[in-house]
Amino acid sequence: MKTVNVALIGQGFMGRSHSNAWGQVPKFFKPPIRPVMHTVYGLPEENPHAFAENWGWKNASTNWEELVKSPEIGLVDVVTPNYAHAPVARAALAAGKPVACEKPIAGTLADAREMAEAAKKANIPTFVWFNYRRVPAVALAHQLVKQGKLGDILHVRATYLQDWAGPQVPLLWRFDKKLAGSGAHGDLNAHIVDMTRFVTGREITEVVGAIAETFIKKRKIAASTAAAGGIAAGTTGAEPWGDVTVDDTVLFLARFSGGAVASFEAARQATGNQNRNGFEINGTKGALKFDFERMNELNFYDATLPRAVQGWTNIMVTHGGDHPYVANWWPDAHIIGYEHGFTNQAYDILKVLAGEEPTVPIPDFADAYQTQRVLEAALLSARERRPVKIDEVR
């Protein structure tokens, strides 16, 4: 079997998620190309050698510039904080390497645009880890809409609610605009903008109005934020408190092509919601509801049935013969978890590298740039208190 040597740039939470995926995919799937976990990069203080030994990487490096140029590397996987995505991706593309990058594609619209342009110029495959597309229930929702089960789409409601960012949490890199680009907006709204674009098959054409708020203005400075997995250390200093420079929540209203109206909400202090990532989509023939806290289920309403028997159907999306990806996992109702979406994406990346079609569409840099334009339009709308056409944002 053909192989591809993977280099992982970064560690942290996403480094663990991706390492698990690359290690699991050849065990549960039969990819046309077998991934080799070749080298992981990390800062010296992160001890990348210990990370490599624990997660099964053959080598470790503290020099990402040399690593992405290495002739031994066939795929560069970027999991650094957002500000570092662009320099790594551009260098890898210049070296002729396919690139997989965590979401959002970049910390700023300018970086996202440069990455998309570099990928187009290089004509090399790129991938962005919007992993919720690879949740079987979300992939099924995409297929149902494509089959016309919802008819004309009228309403889209999407939320991504978490409650982890209380005042006791220190000033991590995620609260620093220079490192993260934005807060809950780029971290959470990015997912639901991509997910609703994917499921509906429609593009957002306008942000009608938006609001952004930072509830906790200052946080204690952590002893070190180097463990975030960046290329350089994060915010440190003698002062015990630092300013939060990103949003805690962003809400916005939007219009989709085809006439649907939409609402989006991302929050990090939505008490009682640990990872409530979901949507409801209403059409003229039916509707869909999804909640990641019940990720193995999809709710479907078939409005074409006689009115006497219409009602929400709860689908357990675990049947291998009918539902995307799950034939490679466990028997019916032996449910899967968060990490499986990453393994499913690793499989589709390998299929594309082999010239095959992915199970469902996989976002490249150009696709992820469209999501970044929507995010930028929402921030502009919140700042200037006006509607913003997506065509204004380049």
- CATH number where 258 lies: 3.30.360.10
In this structure, how many other beta carbons lie within 10 angstroms of the beta carbon of residue 215? Answer: 14
Write down the pLDDT at residue 1: 76
pLDDT at 29 over 60: yes
Sign of the Cα pseudo-torsion (250, 234, 11, 273, in order): negative
Give me the pLDDT at residue 219, please: 96
Average pLDDT over residues 254-266: 98
Q: Does the residue 239 lie in any domain?
A: yes
338 domain-assigned: no
Average pLDDT value for residue range 142-168: 98
Q: Give this prediction's pTM.
A: 0.94
Please report whether residue 12 resides in a domain.
Answer: yes
- Average pLDDT score, the chain: 95
What's the confidence (pLDDT) of residue 233? 38
Instruction: Report, as an integer, the average pLDDT of 106-124.
Output: 97
139 and 123 housed in the same domain: no
What's the confidence (pLDDT) of residue 222?
Answer: 77
Please give the average per-residue pLDDT across 227-243, as a whole number: 56
The answer to whether the CB of 147 falls within 8 A of the CB of 252 is: no
Q: Label residue 223 by pLDDT band (50, 70, 90).
A: low
pLDDT tens column, 267-279: 999 999 999 999 9
- Any domain includes 97: yes
My answer on whether 53 and 81 are in the same domain is yes
Looking at the domain assignment, is residue 182 inside a domain? yes
| Percent of the chain predicted with pLDDT > 90 | 95
Given a cut of 60, whether residue 232 has pLDDT beyond it is no
End position of a domain, from candidates 93, 114, 131: 131
The band of 231, judged by pLDDT with boundaries at 50, 70 and 90, is: very low
Q: What is the number of domains present in the chain?
A: 2
**Burial class for 263, CB neighbours closer than 10 Å (0-12, 13-18, 19+):** middle
Range of the domain at 15: 2-131
User: CA torsion, points 81, 87, 89, 95, in degrees to nearest 10?
Assistant: -150
Asked if the structure places residue 344 within a domain, the reply is no
Residue 319: partners with Cβ closer than 8 Å, 6 or more residues away: 326, 332
**DSSP notation for 309-345:** G--EEEEE---TTTSTTGGGS-STT----HHHHHHHH
DSSP run (H or E) holding 154: strand 153-161
Same domain, 101 and 149: no
Domain membership of residue 392 (yes or no) is no
Q: What is the mean pLDDT of residues 177-183?
A: 94
Looking from the CA of 72 toward its CB, the CA atoms found within 13 Å total 9
pLDDT for 238: 56
Residues 293 and 153 in one domain: yes
Taking residues 319-326, what's their average pLDDT?
96
Tell me the per-residue pLDDT of 47-77, one tens digit each, with 9 for 90 and over: 999 999 999 999 999 999 999 999 999 999 9
Q: What is the pLDDT of residue 228?
A: 42
Q: Are residues 59 and 162 in the same domain?
A: no
Share of the chain above pLDDT 70, in %: 96
pLDDT at 27: 98
Does the pLDDT at position 230 exceed 70? Answer: no
pLDDT band, very low/low/confident/very high, at 203 (cuts 50, 70, 90)? very high
Same domain, 289 and 155: yes
Last-in-domain residue among 88, 110, 131: 131
The residues pairing with 232 across neighbouring beta strands, listed in sequence order, are: none
Q: Do 97 and 190 fall into the same domain?
A: no
Angle, vertex CA 45, rays to CA 70 and CA 218, nearest 5:
115
Query: Are 219 and 284 found together in one domain?
Result: yes
Asked whether residue 125 falls in the same domain as residue 192, the answer is no
pLDDT at 336 over 90: yes
Residues 115 and 153 in one domain: no
In terms of DSSP H, where are the helices of the chain?
12-28, 48-55, 64-69, 85-94, 109-122, 136-146, 177-180, 184, 190-200, 338-353, 365-384
Final residue belonging to a domain, choices 91, 113, 131: 131
CATH number where 125 lies? 3.40.50.720
Residue 343 forms part of a structural domain: no
Best CA proximity match to 289, nearest among 195, 220, 367: 195
Q: Do residues 89 and 150 both lie within one domain?
A: no
Residues 77 and 143 in one domain: no
